[in-house]
């Protein structure tokens, strides 16, 4: 696809947090393209830089953090380097975000209505009071808040967790943005509510043709919701593929490990769940080779993995399409996967 | 809500009862003999005994306490021989000056604290923040009466500010009495010169009186602002397109200022104690200097009345602040609402 | 030790203590003797802080004042923490009527703004340093008592205490071995913060004539004395004792703040309930 077709195009984005023991690079030269209406998933453990990436795209990284390089183009407009005011014109109008915790994302001492009006008014300053109110009611209705007229004057603590999350979605979608970033939107909710919120989100973005970047650590959510997936590790995408391709072939050992660590009823007889050994690396002090090497079941101890940082490799013709993988043994592993697929 | 108010009032009355007993114990049963104090050190024993009877000191303790409280509650606070008037009218005459000064001191302290706390926390300026912490420590360690003297020596000596001459210059007449607050009365009467003079006279005392509340409030506001500024709802507000300042002003400021209401009782205590320590330095004709005068001239009726009134108003203030906070904070206001 | 504020505070306190302890040994001028031939002299080598309206050396008086403030401060903090801590321990450990009565008395004390209650006590007992100290101790007690009681109650409900109980330890043994050592940990934190309040209140009482009496060279009383002649140009009489107070109080509260951060990083315990910041006059 050419760059012109992308609604959001991130390239070489790099975000650094100043810390006592030196700089922590949370996002390392990330490229990301999103087409209109596409649903992109970003998966990874906590601390892999998913949320930092989201905030970097929106220009909401606060000191001591800083976006030090790269480009973010939204509808062709470059966002990196824009001032607070210009960015403010884009945020909430062309791109919105929903955070993980619906409780702390709403100001506890302001009415729900006030917090909704604010999002509408910012980009439609000429609207009359009753028009803003009507729009807010529509939005609450869209996210299935019952009798919204009565709920506008309520405070966040009057709402349940699922309702608050739906309000966040209503606020983020208030001005029909082209892109919505959903940062772990269902993690804080119980399972039934999760499913409902996800279903609702799916319906709304499909109706409006909104592109979604769904950040999660839950591969089940990705399988259900996303067109394509990026697996993030230590500030980089280590494997990017369409959802079917990723679930068909896990070429990067980290992806394989991630999938191995989720409960799948069809694989119960294969033995107990495999947890990924060790902890994510210290971003302030990455090993010189592959950042996953110390925890890697495949490459652990191999010299090339310990000394050389892998470059992205594009693999075409694998099951269900193509994949981009950062692993020294990507081709070998892809071939092995095909053999296995042929055998079955 | 109503239940909460009733509970609070009942608690306050209980605390006040305890406080009145305590004050009674210390002021009446202490080794010093009030009758002896009144008639003088060298008066004959019969005169002391007569005075004791006159004061009702021969009755048993419970009766004495009953009389003491009855007199206090009916506004009979004794006779102040240093001013030659009943204590109640002496305090009534002095109260407006104290209230006016305290109000200005509070406004100054709060405004300065808010501005400085904002400067230190908005956009995290570590240097300003460090300086502010030091200033706050020094502010809390400065004896107010000493600061007043220092300001008088350095600023009024040069003619920039008036010396210790009270609320107005000797040749300026008080404005026509409506509220007894000179600044308000001067505005009501359109006497701008008087207004200017009153403000000019109030500046140094108000700064002196406001220093401790300022240092206290600046800490509180700084801590609150730092905490609120980290909340995800600030980031979420900015993701709607609000500028950094707008998000801060609409969402961080109210949330940080709201809890300072709970410190109202302490600020009140600072101002009350401060008036005793500061007014006399500036010859401010308020209750504080009346009390210090009472101490120096052994006019203890005034001091006793002030102590009880101070406790009563402090308890009342704390109750009001408590009820007020639960009324303005939506999280404690009203029920849980609908869920689901 | 990369904290310049803390280093400065500690240094200043050390200096004041040195002045209080060594001063009278090294500086042989009289703090109370009147010399009408040398009144109101400006600071000089012979009188580094000048002389007052009765010809007394202000430096000698300043050093005596340091001794008075620091000694009474120490004694009052000790008395307040021991008495208040004991009340809190008893109330928390024995609960029942003792708890109820002692806590109501604490409520009554807390119904007064601290300085006002200290004034009531000194008026009742007669003005003087001792009554002032008693008044200040009385106003401090409830803070210690409430803190310790809250700690005891919290610890009593902790699992390991219940475990000790079920293992057959006697009540007294549980109280002495498990509750007391854990509950008194917060007392020193509060005491450190309380010190500045004590000396500031002592000076305030001295200033209004309820504390130290003439001619005792207490800092607050010295400021009152300086007030009379200050506007005629003799600034040194009142300025130096005030400076001493400022340094002593500020330095100890900075020190207390750091001690609290060190002993209790979460800020859960003492919380500075009785520090200067909340109860200074």
The reply to whether residue B336 touches residue A104, judged by beta carbons under 8 angstroms, is no
Out of B18, B143, B276, closest to residue C105 by CB = B18
Q: Pick the residue from chain C with its C-alpha nearest to B131.
A: C5
* 3-state DSSP assignment of residue B80: strand
The reported pLDDT for the residue numbered A338 is 64
Q: Which residue has the higher pLDDT, B98 or B158?
A: B98
Please report which confidence band the pLDDT of residue B297 belongs to, taking 50, 70 and 90 as the band edges: confident
pLDDT digits (tens, 9 = 90+) for C29-40: 777 777 777 777
Given a contact cutoff of 8 angstroms between Cβ atoms, the answer to whether A230 and A43 are in contact is yes
The reported pLDDT for the residue numbered C27 is 75
Evaluate the CA torsion angle B81, B86, B87, B89 in order and state its sign. Answer: negative
Residue whose token pair is 């109706």: A207
C-alpha atoms less than 13 angstroms from C-alpha of C240 in its C-beta half-sphere: 26
Q: Which residue has the higher pLDDT, A83 or B329?
A: A83
Q: Which helix (H) or strand (E) holds B79?
A: strand B79-80
The reported pLDDT for the residue numbered B34 is 65
pLDDT digits (tens, 9 = 90+) for C163-221: 776 666 677 777 777 778 877 888 888 898 899 999 999 999 999 989 888 788 899 99
What pairs with residue A239 in β-bridges?
A: A231, A325
What pairs with residue A260 in β-bridges?
A: none
User: Which of B143, B292, B299, B309 should we substitute to test contact with C (largest number of C Cβ atoms within 10 Å)?
Assistant: B143
Q: Give the whole-angstrom CA distance, residue C84 versus residue A260.
A: 60
Given a contact cutoff of 8 angstroms between Cβ atoms, the answer to whether A200 and A144 are in contact is yes
* 3-state DSSP assignment of residue C51: strand
Q: Give the whole-angstrom CA distance, residue B117 versus residue B197.
A: 31
Q: Which of B80, B60, B69 is nearest to B20 (CA)?
A: B69
Phi, psi for B307 (deg, rounded to 5): -65, -45
For the record, the structure tokens of C117 come out as 């209650």
Out of C126, C227, C254, closest to residue B281 by CB = C227
The C-alpha of B270 sits at a distance from chain A's nearest C-alpha, in angstroms, of: 29
Which residues of chain C have a CB within 8 Å of the CB of B165?
none
Q: Which residue has the higher pLDDT, A141 or B339?
A: A141
Please report which confidence band the pLDDT of residue B91 belongs to, taking 50, 70 and 90 as the band edges: very high
For the record, the structure tokens of B285 come out as 């004709």
Give exposure, C81-106, as e/b (b: 16+ Cβ within 10 Å).
bebbbebbbbbbbeeeeebeebbebb
pLDDT below 70 — which residues of chain A?
1-4, 262-274, 337-344
What ipTM does this complex have? 0.89
The C-alpha of A96 sits at a distance from chain B's nearest C-alpha, in angstroms, of: 6
Instruction: Enter the pTM of the model.
Output: 0.85
Is pLDDT at C79 greater than 70 in this prediction? yes
Is pLDDT at B272 greater than 90 in this prediction? yes
By a Cβ cutoff of 8 Å, what residues of chain A touch chain B? 55, 58, 60, 62-63, 84-85, 88-93, 96-97, 99, 101, 104-111, 115, 118-119, 122-123, 151, 154-155, 157-160, 163, 168, 171-172, 174
pLDDT digits (tens, 9 = 90+) for C125-144: 888 999 999 999 999 999 99
SS3 letters across chain A: CCHHHCCEEEEEEEEEEEECCEEEEEEEEEEEEECCCCEEEEECCCCCCHHHHHHHHHCCCCCCEEEEEEEEEECCEECCCCCHHHHHHHECCCEEEECCCCCCCCCCCCCHHHHHHHHHHHHCCCCCHHHHHHHHHHHHHHCCCCCHHHHCCCCHHHCCHHHHHHHHHHHHCCCCCCEEEEECCCCCCCHHHHHHHHHHHHHHHHHHCCEEEEEECCHHHHHHHCCEEEEEECCEEEEEEEHHHHHHCCCCHHHHHHHHCCCCHHHHHHCCCCCCCCCCCCCCCCCCCCCCHHHCCCCCCCHHHHHCCCCCEEEEEECCEEEEECCCCHHHHHHHHHHHHHHC
Out of B149, B212, B300, closest to residue C227 by CB = B149
pLDDT digits (tens, 9 = 90+) for C231-259: 777 888 888 999 999 999 999 988 888 87
Please report which confidence band the pLDDT of residue C279 belongs to, taking 50, 70 and 90 as the band edges: very low
The reported pLDDT for the residue numbered B207 is 96
What pairs with residue A242 in β-bridges?
A: A228
The reported pLDDT for the residue numbered C277 is 39
Q: Are C and A touching by the rule of 3+ CB pairs within 8 Å?
A: no
Q: How many CB pairs under 8 A join A and B?
A: 94
The C-alpha of B201 sits at a distance from chain A's nearest C-alpha, in angstroms, of: 40
Q: Give the whole-angstrom CA distance, residue A167 versus residue A116.
A: 8
Evaluate the CA torsion angle A232, A236, A238, A241 in order and state its sign. Answer: positive
Given a contact cutoff of 8 angstroms between Cβ atoms, the answer to whether B105 and B209 are in contact is yes
User: Which of B26, B263, B291 should we substitute to test contact with C (largest number of C Cβ atoms within 10 Å)?
Assistant: B26
Given a contact cutoff of 8 angstroms between Cβ atoms, the answer to whether A321 and A245 are in contact is yes
The reported pLDDT for the residue numbered C280 is 35
Q: What angle do CA A50, A52, A57 make, to 5 degrees?
A: 100
* Strands A313-318 and A321-325, bridge-based pairing: antiparallel
Q: Give the whole-angstrom CA distance, residue A209 versus residue A230.
A: 21
Q: Which of C140, C163, C156, C166 is nearest to C89 (CA)?
A: C156
């Amino acid at each position: 696809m050419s760059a012109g077709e992308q609604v959001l195009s991130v390239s070489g984005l790099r975000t650094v947090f100043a810390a006592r023991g030196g700089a922590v690079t949370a996002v390392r030269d990330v490229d990301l393209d999103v087409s209109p209406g596409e649903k992109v998933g970003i998966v990874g453990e906590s601390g892999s830089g998913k949320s930092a990436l989201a905030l970097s795209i929106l220009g909401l990284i606060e000191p001591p953090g800083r976006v030090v390089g790269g480009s973010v183009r939204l509808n062709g407009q470059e966002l990196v380097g824009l001032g607070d005011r210009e960015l403010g014109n884009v945020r909430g109008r062309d791109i919105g975000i929903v955070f993980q915790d619906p409780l702390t994302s709403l100001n506890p001492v302001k009415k729900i209505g006030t917090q909704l009006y604010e999002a509408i008014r910012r980009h439609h300053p000429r609207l009359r009071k009753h028009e803003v109110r009507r729009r807010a009611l529509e939005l609450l209705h869209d996210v299935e808040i019952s009798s919204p007229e009565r709920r506008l004057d309520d405070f966040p603590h009057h709402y349940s967790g699922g309702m608050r999350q739906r309000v966040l979605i209503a606020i983020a979608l208030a001005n029909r943005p082209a892109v919505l970033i959903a940062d772990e939107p269902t993690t804080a909710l119980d399972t039934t509510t999760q499913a409902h919120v996800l279903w609702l989100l799916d319906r709304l973005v499909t109706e409006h043709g909104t592109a979604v970047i769904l950040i999660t650590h839950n591969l089940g959510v990705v399988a259900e919701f996303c067109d394509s997936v990026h697996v993030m590790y230590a500030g980089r995408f280590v494997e990017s593929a369409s959802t079917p391709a990723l679930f068909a072939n896990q070429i990067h050992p980290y992806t394989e490990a991630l999938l191995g660590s989720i409960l799948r009823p069809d694989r119960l007889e294969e033995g107990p769940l495999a947890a990924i050994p060790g902890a994510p690396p210290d971003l302030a002090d990455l090993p010189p080779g592959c950042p996953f090497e110390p925890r890697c079941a495949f490459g652990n101890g191999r010299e090339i993995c310990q000394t050389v940082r892998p470059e992205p490799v594009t693999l075409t013709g694998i099951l269900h399409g193509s994949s981009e993988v950062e692993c020294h043994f990507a081709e070998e592993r892809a071939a092995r996967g095909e053999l296995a697929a042929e055998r079955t | 809500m109503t239940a909460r108010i009733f509970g609070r009032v009942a608690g306050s009355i209980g605390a006040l009862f305890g406080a009145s007993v305590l004050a009674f114990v210390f002021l009446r049963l202490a080794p010093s003999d009030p009758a002896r104090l009144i008639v003088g050190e060298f008066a004959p024993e019969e005169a002391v005994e007569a005075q004791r009877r006159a004061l009702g000191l021969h009755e048993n303790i419970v009766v004495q306490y009953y009389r003491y409280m009855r007199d206090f509650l009916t506004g009979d606070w004794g006779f102040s021989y240093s001013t030659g008037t009943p204590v109640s009218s002496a305090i009534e005459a002095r109260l407006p000056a104290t209230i006016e000064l305290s109000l200005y001191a509070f406004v100054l302290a709060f405004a300065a604290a808010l501005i400085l706390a904002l400067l230190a926390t908005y956009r995290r300026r570590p240097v300003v923040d460090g300086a502010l912490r030091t200033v706050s420590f020094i502010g809390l360690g400065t004896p107010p009466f000493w600061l007043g003297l220092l300001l008088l020596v350095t600023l009024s000596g040069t003619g920039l500010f008036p010396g210790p001459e009270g609320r107005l210059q000797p040749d300026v007449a008080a404005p026509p009495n409506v509220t007894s607050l000179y600044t308000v009365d001067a505005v009501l009467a359109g006497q701008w010169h008087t207004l200017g003079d009153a403000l000019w006279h109030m500046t140094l005392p108000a700064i002196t009186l406001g220093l401790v509340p300022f240092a206290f409030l600046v800490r509180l506001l700084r801590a609150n602002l730092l905490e609120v500024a980290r909340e995800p709802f600030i980031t979420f507000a900015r993701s709607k397109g609000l500028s950094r300042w707008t998000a801060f002003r609409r969402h961080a400021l109210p949330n940080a200022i709201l809890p300072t209401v709970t410190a109202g009782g302490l600020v009140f205590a600072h101002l009350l104690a401060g008036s005793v320590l500061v007014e006399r330095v500036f010859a401010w004709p308020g209750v504080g200097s009346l009390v210090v005068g009472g101490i120096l001239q052994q006019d203890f009726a005034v001091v006793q009345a002030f102590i009880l009134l101070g406790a009563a108003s402090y308890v009342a203030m704390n109750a009001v602040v408590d009820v007020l906070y639960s009324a303005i904070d939506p999280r404690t206001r009203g029920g849980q609402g609908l869920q689901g | 030790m990369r904290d310049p504020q803390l280093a400065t505070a500690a240094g200043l306190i050390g200096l004041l203590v040195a002045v209080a302890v060594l001063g009278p040994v090294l500086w042989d001028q009289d703090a109370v003797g009147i010399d009408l031939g040398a009144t109101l002299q400006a600071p000089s080598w012979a009188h580094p802080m000048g002389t007052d309206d009765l010809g007394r050396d202000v430096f000698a008086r300043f050093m005596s004042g340091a001794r008075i403030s620091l000694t009474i401060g120490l004694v009052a903090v000790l008395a307040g923490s021991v008495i208040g801590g004991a009340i809190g321990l008893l109330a928390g450990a024995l609960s029942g009527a003792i708890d109820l009565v002692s806590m109501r008395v604490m409520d009554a004390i807390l119904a007064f703004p601290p300085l006002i209650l200290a004034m009531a006590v000194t008026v009742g007992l007669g003005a003087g340093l001792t009554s002032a100290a008693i008044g200040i101790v009385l106003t401090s007690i409830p803070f210690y008592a409430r803190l310790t009681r809250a700690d005891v109650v919290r610890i009593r409900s902790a699992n390991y205490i219940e475990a000790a109980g079920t293992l057959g330890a006697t009540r007294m043994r549980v109280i002495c071995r498990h509750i007391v050592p854990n509950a008194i940990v917060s007392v020193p934190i509060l005491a450190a913060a309380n010190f500045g309040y004590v000396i500031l209140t002592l000076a305030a009482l001295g200033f209004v004539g309820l504390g130290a009496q003439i001619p005792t060279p207490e800092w607050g009383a010295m400021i009152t004395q300086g007030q009379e002649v200050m506007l005629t140009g003799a600034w040194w009489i009142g300025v130096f004792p005030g400076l001493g107070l400022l340094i002593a109080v500020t330095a100890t509260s900075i020190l207390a703040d750091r001690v609290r951060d060190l002993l209790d990083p979460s800020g859960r315990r003492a919380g500075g309930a009785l520090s200067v910041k909340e109860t200074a006059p």
